[in-house]
Amino acid sequence: MIHLTISSFRTTLLLCICLMLVPFSTTVAQSYFPPTDITKEDTRAMIRNFMAKPDLETKGERGYVEDILRINAVDMEWDIGMSVHEPVDSAKIPRGADGKKIGIFLLHGGSGDFKSMHRQANLLAKKLGYKVISMSYPGRHAFHTPSRDWPGRNVTAYDHHKYYLEVRTPIWLRGEYITRDQYDIIKDYSQRPRYGIRTLAKAKPGTTFYHRMAGWPMAFEKGGVEAMKKHFPEDEFSIYVHGHSTGGPFTMMLSQRVPNVRGILAVENSSFGYINRAKHAWGGELGKIDGFERVDESIQLESRSDPFDELYIRSWRDSARYKGPELLGQEGPEALMRLPMIMEDILDNWGDVQKRASFKAEYIVTHDIEPSLIAAAKATAERMGMGDEETQEMIDHYVGLKRELKGRGVKPVPPIMFQITAFSRDHSRDVYEEVIIPLFKEMEPAPKVSLTQYPFGTHGYMNGEVIEGVRLGVGPAVFQQWDDAIKGGYFLE
């Protein structure tokens, strides 16, 4: 028999009352920490269980509602397009471990647009009930078509008595179009081992194209901040950001500029620009794939030098540069024995119509090309008639987009949950353990960081693979892990 004194009874009673008053979210804080590896069996079970969840009805005839924000940045107007995915019944939006509603901000990668993330957004809204925004980069939203698909090819050749090329260009403002006389076409051979021959549209100084190419980084920053401010009020939502691949450096940049961003969901996404540059300089993008060391160092790049005024026009070559390493990991060198078949599939998939934007200008931020950032800032400052002091402030702002903010009173980088696939071209475990995570640990204060590797998948983690009868790659398992982490307290600091 246990005997309690009056004093000890009162103490025990008080402790019990205190525990009852503590919100559940606090008691589970830190109870979830992501595993370093997930087995094939567990991945299949996660996908099976996730897809078995009932679908919630979402707003909009297409399962989402489009929103277009008009912002002003560097004395220019910009239109920022996005889709909003959320349950019809807002009461169905779940709450995370901190007690606030869960909001997800998505950025596409490469040369895509908001539709590139629609499978992700739809699954998150319908299966988990999250409110989700999928935002296009500045210039990537097809404002000129009702479907918001880009029509035709991104490169058009004419024969008006001489060979003539016209390329698809960004639409930064509804009703404003970049005409052919605003750029020259350049064929770039300097990075051929990695990219093949690149087609570039070089903006002519003084044109609208030139000024937009100099100013878009500031529009990107302001557009992301304003989108989250509008759709995820600080007193109601906690936001978790994910940018696939190229989108990663921008979500990391935005994570410190929006007060209620609580975490970074980093599946197959690049890091801050200077960390991404260090990854490429290390030469270990592929790391070791099933015992095959990367031996062709000729495809390693020196520090990139892309000028801010050159728009890269993507091609089937970009599909090929991913497909080769992925097949090496999945099948080994024997895959080369069917190279003609592989190339036929790549060219067929590229096709005669490129519905996504299929151009790219973001390297100056994502690869930490500081001279180009400085040149873009100077061009913008000159257009705005700035003096020396204001120009230096503009330069500092541009350069600051590619690394974490520092100093007193600055919001720290929030917790990060890295997830990588088995056969990613750009994201090996080696480079995370030897370069990326150590650089995050050097930050002051250092954010919480985890790394999980899945036994399936490639860089396009929702593409191609059929697992448990679903052609969504490892996506459903990734999203289940997000849900476990958000509700299980991983992102509570």
Q: How far is CA 483 from CA 341, 406, 489, in A?
A: 40, 30, 10
C-alpha 46/C-alpha 199 separation (Å) is: 42
Helix (H, G, I), strand (E, B) or coil at 16: helix
Among 29-38, 136-145, 236-245, 397-406, the least confident range: 29-38
Higher pLDDT, 91 or 30: 91
Higher pLDDT, 333 or 384: 384
Q: Report the CATH number that the domain containing residue 359 is assigned in CATH.
A: 3.40.50.1820
- pLDDT given for residue 426 in this prediction: 84
Please write the tens of the pLDDT for every residue from 392-401. Answer: 999 999 999 9
341 inside domain? no
What average pLDDT does range 11-26 have in this prediction?
Answer: 41
Is 279 in contact with 371 (CB distance < 8 Å)? no
Encode burial over 261-300: b for 16+ CB neighbours within 10 A, e otherwise. bbbbbbbbbbbbbbbbbbbbeeebbbbebeeeebeeeeee
pLDDT bucket at 19, cuts 50 / 70 / 90? very low
27 inside domain? yes
252 inside domain? yes
Is 263 in contact with 240 (CB distance < 8 Å)? yes
pLDDT bucket at 324, cuts 50 / 70 / 90? confident
C-alpha 379/C-alpha 210 separation (Å) is: 9
319 inside domain? no
- Beta sheet of 131-135, edge-to-edge order: 65-73, 76-85, 131-135, 101-107, 237-243, 261-267, 416-420, 449-453
What average pLDDT does range 444-456 have in this prediction?
Answer: 97
pLDDT bucket at 441, cuts 50 / 70 / 90? very high
Say yes or no to pLDDT of 169 above 60. yes
- pLDDT given for residue 300 in this prediction: 42
Listed in sequence order, the residues at least 6 apart from 319 whose beta carbon sits closer than 8 Å to its beta carbon are: 346, 349, 350
- pLDDT given for residue 160 in this prediction: 57
* Cα radius of gyration rounded to whole Å, the chain: 24
333 inside domain? no
Please write the tens of the pLDDT for every residue from 367-416. Answer: 999 999 999 999 999 999 999 999 999 999 999 999 999 999 999 999 99
390 inside domain? yes
C-alpha 411/C-alpha 124 separation (Å) is: 27
Say yes or no to pLDDT of 296 above 50. no
Per-range mean pLDDT, top range of 28-32, 159-163, 261-265: 261-265
What is the extent of the structural domain holding 105?
10-314+354-404+412-488
Q: CA torsion 93→94→97→102, rounded to 10°? A: -30
Among 142-146, 153-157, 311-315, the least confident range: 153-157
pLDDT bucket at 20, cuts 50 / 70 / 90? very low
5 inside domain? no
Domain count, the chain: 1
Tell me which DSSP letter residue 157 carries: E
Higher pLDDT, 81 or 285: 81
